[in-house]
Amino acid sequence: MADDLSGRVALVTGGGRGIGANVARELAGAGMRVAVAARTRNQVEQVAGEIAGLALEVDVSDEASVTRMVQDTERELGPVDLLVNNAGIAGPSNRVPIWEDDDGGAWWRVFEVNMLGSYLCCRSVLPGMVARGGGRIVNVGSGGAYLPVSPGSLGGSAYGPSKAALYRFGEVLAAQVAPHDIAVFTISPGLVRSAMTQRLGDDAPWTPPALAPRLVRALASGRADKLTGRYIHAEHDDIEDLIARADEIVANDANAIRLRR
C-alpha cells in the first residue's frame, strides 16, 4: 500500500514542470499540502491549480527570494515537513571547451542554481525542523555526478561537478542534522525525458517518469530514515529492499559515492 502522508507539508522547488511537477502531484496524491516553487509563474500556477497547492515564484540562487518562499509556505500551509530540492539547470554544452568559452558566468550559474540554491533552501527550512525535532530533505541529484564522461554527456563541465557537490553536501548535512531526527537523501531520478534531456533523442534509455516521485513519497514517509545520507537511484534501487537492509547498507557504507581501491 502506498504511503499516506496526510496533513504534512512539502515544499518542492523546480516544481513547475518535469520531475518536480510530478513529485508535487505524487505528494499531493498522498495527502500532503504542497507548495510548488519555480522561476516561471504560469507553470507553478498551473501545477498548483491541479493539486490545490500553493504557487510560489522563486529564484533559488537568491537568498531573499528563498526566505520569502519558505515564509510564504509556512504562513499559508504550515511548517515544512519535507523539502525537495529539485530546481536545476544543465548549463553550457560539453561541445564548448572552457578555453573557448567566452561566458564564464554561465558556467558558474549552474553552481548557483544546482548547489547554492539547495544550500540556501536547506538553510532556510532547517531552523524550523531543528526546533521541532524532525523533518526530511530530498536533493535531486544526477548520474552526471559519477558516470563516465563522454562527448554526449548531458551538460558541460559544470553540470556533473555541481551534482557531485550536491551529493557530498547532502551527506555532510545528514551527519550534522542526524541528532535532531532530520533525514537527508540524495536521489537520482534516472534519465527522465524532459526539456533538459529531450535532445538525447528517442533511442536514449529513458527512465519511467513515475519512479522518482514514488521514491520521494517513500522517503517522505520516514520509513527509510536509517538511510539518511545515502544516494538512492529511482530506477536501479528498490527502496523497499533498501529499507529492509538498512542496517547492512550503513554498516557496509553502501549506496554512497566513494573511491574504491
- The C-alpha cell of 145 is what? 555526478
pLDDT at 17 (0 to 100):
94
Annotated active-site positions, please?
Answer: 159
Residue 259 lies in a domain: no
Longest distance between any two alpha carbons in the chain, whole Å: 53
By the 8 A CB rule, do 12 and 87 touch?
A: no
Does residue 258 fall inside a structural domain? no
Give the list of residues 6+ apart from residue 260 with CB closer than 8 angstroms, or none: none
* 196, pLDDT greater than 70: no
| CA 61 vs CA 64, 173, 178: distances in Å | 9, 19, 26
Domains contained in the chain, number: 1
Q: Does residue 3 belong to any structural domain of this protein?
A: no
Percentage of residues in the chain with pLDDT exceeding 70? 89
The string of pLDDT tens digits covering residues 51-105 is: 999 999 999 999 999 999 999 999 999 999 999 999 999 887 666 678 887 777 8
What pTM does this model have? 0.93
Which CATH number do you get for residue 247?
A: 3.40.50.720
Query: Percentage of residues in the chain with pLDDT exceeding 90?
Result: 77
In this structure, the number of other CB atoms found within 10 A of the CB of residue 229 comes to 20
Q: Which range marks the domain in which residue 222 is found?
A: 9-251
List, edge to edge, every strand of the sheet that includes 54-57: 54-57, 33-38, 9-13, 82-85, 135-140, 182-188, 231-233
260 domain-assigned:
no
CA–CA gap between residue 139 and residue 85 (Å, rounded): 5
Residue 1, domain member (yes or no): no
User: Higher model confidence: residue 104 or residue 161?
Assistant: 161
Q: CA torsion angle for 93, 94, 97, 100 (degrees, to 10)?
A: -10
**Is there a domain that residue 187 lies in?**
yes
pLDDT value for 201: 59
Q: Three cell numbers at 42? A: 504560469
Q: What is the pLDDT of residues 3-32, one digit of tens each?
A: 999 999 999 999 999 999 999 999 999 999
Does any domain span residue 60?
A: yes
pLDDT score of 187 more than 60: yes
- 78-82, 197-201, 219-223, range with the lowest pLDDT: 197-201
